[in-house]
């Protein structure tokens, strides 16, 4: 498995530019890329989720001849593989929904197949790897019984998410990134109190669910306003971490463009966002980054959220937003500069920062091999785990050093932002 590769920045910027520049300019920039630029950038293209959206874009603009034949061939092969993958996942998706409905669960599908067509025109253009559900916190154990009956096992637990996996004993090779694979994953999201002990309860959004239809199937989903807020919070969560998939921001921008004049939607978003923790900042930051990177116009109702952002958050977006969103996999630690502004820099934040810079917790297993499996499979599992540990170590050392270098420049920029400005009215 190839863990890291430094992409050609020229190729990355050119791919992004095809979504916000003229056909002529896109053609000129694409034609200037060498075969080496493409070869160095495949890991970023795949990890960012942009590969198939990019293919769709150049086909719609009739720009295939501006790319090397081998590049177009690879992109089209990926699309064919992902079409099969999406079809396979949709079959599993319907089976999960039927099982939940038969048990009388109160739930909603999150992300995934509920994003079509508002966020993505066709399922085969998205790189989907798991299924997400919002469930009634009081029905978690019933959900667990259903999933275990379908071959899943409980993998990880957090205060508001239970993760289940199936086929986790096989590691997917990067060359099979778009192909149907044996690994399956389900995340159950639920509302819980923020105090200890965490007490799950029914999320109020479940009362506002709507029926969503796709490919002849109907399934429960969040209301359009709740879904938009959820997508902004999803982007915000990852912007406040090492790596964010750029395709999520493109999908967010696609929804904004599709509903630009839908004042009822934006008014409903305004009404519901104030009731959800971090939603106002999430909407403002996600909208600002989408407009900066893809150059799109912002509806006045969403522009208000940008204006409400703290000045230091807008400064971070201007200074580091693009770099963070376009960074090589697995990302950077520049998000820590943003988190400090959001969390106030108190002792709890300083402790969290130390843990992020020098994590001492045990690394997650990337492959789980049963004890009764063959010795060879167990050896291969440990080999891949060792490579993963070295990969994580390199990331923490390199990006940690970069963070310390950049933090001094960031403090100078903050000082400039907060320095005293004369009161012109005093004259």
All structural domains of the chain, each given as residue ranges with its CATH number in brackets, are 1-67 (no CATH), 86-222 (3.30.460.40)
Q: Is the pLDDT of residue 140 over 60?
A: yes
Distances (CA, A) of 101 to 217, 292, 293, 312: 13, 42, 41, 46
Mean pLDDT of the chain: 89
Instruction: Determine which of 69-73, 178-182, 194-198, 307-311 has the lowest per-residue pLDDT on average.
Output: 194-198
Q: What is the pLDDT of residue 386?
A: 72
Which of 84-88, 300-304, 391-395 comes out lowest in average pLDDT? 391-395
Q: Does the pLDDT value for residue 319 go beyond 90?
A: yes
Helix (H) or strand (E) holding 5: none
Strand ranges, E, within 13-138: 107-110, 131-135
- pLDDT tens, position by position, 99-114: 999 999 999 999 999 9
pLDDT at residue 410, as a whole number: 92
Model confidence over 113-139: pLDDT tens digits? 999 999 999 999 998 989 999 999 999
H or E element in which residue 76 lies: helix 69-102
| pLDDT above 50 for 424 | no
Confidence (pTM): 0.89
Element (H, E) at 394: helix 375-418
- pLDDT at residue 1 above 50? no
**Alpha carbons 212 and 221: distance in angstroms, whole number:** 6
Residue 313 has pLDDT above 50, yes or no: yes
Cα 190 from Cα 36, distance rounded (Å): 46
Percent of the chain clearing pLDDT 70 (strictly above): 89
What integer is the mean pLDDT of 15-22?
A: 96
Do β-strands 161-166 and 153-158 pair in parallel, antiparallel, or remain unpaired? antiparallel
Q: Is 43 within 8 Å of 2 (Cβ atoms)?
A: yes
pLDDT in tens, 339-388: 999 987 777 777 888 888 877 666 666 566 666 677 776 677 766 667 76
Query: How far is residue 6 from each of residues 36, 145, 173, 412, measured CA to CA in Å?
Result: 12, 44, 19, 29
pLDDT (0 to 100) of residue 426: 38
d(CA 155, CA 168): 9
Read off the pLDDT band of 419 (50, 70, 90).
Answer: low
Q: Please name the residue that has the structure tokens 């297993």.
A: 365
Amino acid 425: pLDDT: 38
Using DSSP bridges, classify how beta strands 210-214 and 161-166 pair: parallel, antiparallel or unpaired. Answer: unpaired
- Confidence label for 28 from pLDDT (cuts 50, 70 and 90): very high
How many residues does the structure list for the chain?
Answer: 427
pLDDT for the residue numbered 420: 47
Pick the range with the lowest mean pLDDT from 167-176, 214-223, 271-280.
167-176
Q: How far apart are CA 227 and CA 117, in angstroms?
A: 13
User: Distance (Å, rounded) from C-alpha 303 to C-alpha 287?
Assistant: 8
């Amino acid at each position: 498995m190839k863990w890291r590769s430094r992409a050609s920045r020229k190729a990355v910027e050119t791919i992004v530019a095809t979504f916000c520049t003229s056909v002529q300019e896109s053609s000129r920039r694409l034609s200037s890329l060498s075969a080496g630029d493409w070869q160095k950038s495949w890991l970023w293209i795949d990890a960012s989720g942009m590969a198939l959206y990019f293919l769709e874009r150049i086909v719609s603009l009739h720009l295939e001849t501006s790319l090397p034949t081998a590049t177009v061939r690879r992109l089209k092969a990926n699309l064919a593989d992902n079409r099969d993958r999406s079809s396979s996942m949709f079959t599993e998706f319907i089976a999960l929904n039927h099982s939940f409905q038969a048990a009388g669960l109160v739930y909603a599908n999150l992300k995934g197949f509920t994003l079509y067509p508002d966020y993505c025109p066709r399922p085969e253009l998205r790189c989907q790897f798991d299924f997400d559900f919002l469930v009634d916190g009081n029905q978690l154990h019933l959900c667990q019984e259903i999933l275990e009956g379908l071959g899943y096992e409980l993998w990880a637990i957090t205060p508001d998410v239970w993760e289940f996996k199936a086929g986790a004993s096989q590691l997917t090779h990067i060359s099979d990134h778009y192909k149907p694979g044996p690994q399956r994953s389900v995340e159950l999201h639920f509302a819980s109190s923020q105090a200890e002990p965490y007490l799950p309860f029914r999320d109020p959004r479940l009362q506002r669910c709507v029926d969503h239809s796709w490919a002849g199937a109907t399934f429960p989903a969040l209301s359009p306003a709740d879904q938009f807020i959820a997508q902004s919070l999803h982007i915000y969560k990852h912007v406040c971490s090492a790596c964010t998939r750029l395709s999520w921001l493109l999908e967010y921008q696609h929804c904004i463009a599709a509903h630009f004049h839908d004042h009822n939607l934006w008014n409903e978003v305004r009404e519901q966002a104030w009731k959800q923790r971090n939603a106002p900042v999430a909407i403002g930051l996600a909208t600002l980054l989408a407009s900066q990177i893809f150059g799109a116009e912002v509806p006045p109702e969403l522009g208000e959220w940008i204006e409400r952002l703290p000045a230091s958050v807008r400064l971070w977006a201007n200074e580091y937003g693009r770099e963070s969103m376009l960074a090589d996999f697995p990302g950077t630690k520049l998000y820590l500069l943003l988190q400090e502004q959001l969390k106030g820099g108190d002792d709890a934040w300083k402790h969290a920062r130390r843990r992020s810079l020098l994590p001492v917790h045990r690394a997650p297993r990337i492959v789980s091999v049963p004890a009764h499996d063959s010795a060879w499979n167990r050896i291969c599992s440990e080999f891949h785990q060792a490579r993963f540990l070295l990969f994580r170590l390199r990331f923490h050392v390199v990006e940690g050093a970069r963070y310390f270098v950049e933090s001094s420049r960031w403090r100078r920029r903050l000082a400039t932002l907060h320095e005293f400005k004369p009161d012109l009215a005093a004259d």
